[in-house]
Amino acid sequence: MDFAMNTDQTANHPNRESKNFKQFSGDYLKKIGVGFLSLLNGMGLTMSYLLDPRKVVTQQYPENRDTLQMMARFRGGVVMVHDDDNNHRCTGCTLCERACPNGSISVLNTKNMAGKKILGQYIYRLSQCTFCNLCIEACPFGAISMGKDFELASYDRQQLTLILNKKKGDGS
Ligand code: SF4
Ligand code: SF4
């Protein structure tokens, strides 16, 4: 009982209260100083961009649509790589289809005149693709990659189901 009374008396001692107030004031003033320095730092950065606009990294979109270069690791949907003669490397092995976790890819194979299995249609459902890249990693032939298109929205869902092995310029 005596011990409890002594403790309360110490906590309310005027010297103790004065010390707490000094510590609080010191912390408060320190935070004001840090905030002020941070403000000066930000203003200095803004001023440096004003004096040297080459440093500015913000891009003006859509004004720069024709010249915009997307980052190397940007994932804008699956595309099938075609060479200059519009040939692709897909063998129809279906490894990408099996790697896709949500069924965004359907590889429909057919046979050529010699009876050999070849790719018929490579169907890619952009509307459900999560851009996870698993199909790209699964392909042993580098036949598909992530595209750089970034304006992918459409009012028509059917336009988001794509035949990737369709040749460029083929409207069918
Ligand atoms: S990126 Fe992912 S979700 Fe999209 S098709 Fe490939 S595996 Fe499927
Ligand atoms: S894209 Fe690659 S993994 Fe997919 S079916 Fe073609 S060759 Fe096989």
CATH number for position 151: 3.30.70.3270
pLDDT given at position 1: 42
The domain of 35 spans 2-55
Distance CA 8, CA 22 (A): 21
What is the Å distance from ligand 1's center to 89 Cα? 18
Regarding whether 88 and 120 lie in a shared domain, the answer is yes
Beta bridge partners of 124: 105, 162
Distance CA 144, CA 126 (A): 14
Regarding whether 145 and 106 lie in a shared domain, the answer is yes
Q: Collapsing DSSP states into helix, strand and coil, what is residue 163?
A: strand
pLDDT for residue 172 is more than 60: no
Q: Is the pTM of this model over 0.75?
A: no
| DSSP character string of 71-122 | -TT----EEE-B-TTS-B------HHHHH-TT--EEEEEEE-TTS-EEEEEE
Ligand having the closest approach to the CA of 124: 1
pLDDT given at position 63: 92
Mean pLDDT of 45-69: 87
What is the band of 54 on the pLDDT scale with cuts at 50, 70, 90?
confident
Answer yes or no: are the C-beta atoms of 77 and 125 closer than 8 Å: no
The residue nearest atom 3 of ligand 1, judged by CA position, is 129
Q: For ligand 2, is residue 133 a contact (CB within 6 Å)?
A: no
pLDDT given at position 118: 93
Judge whether 70 lies within some domain.
Answer: no
Query: For the segment 2-37, what is each residue's pLDDT rounded down to a tens digit?
Result: 444 444 555 566 677 777 888 888 899 999 999 999
Q: Which atom of ligand 2 is nearest to the CA of 91?
A: 7
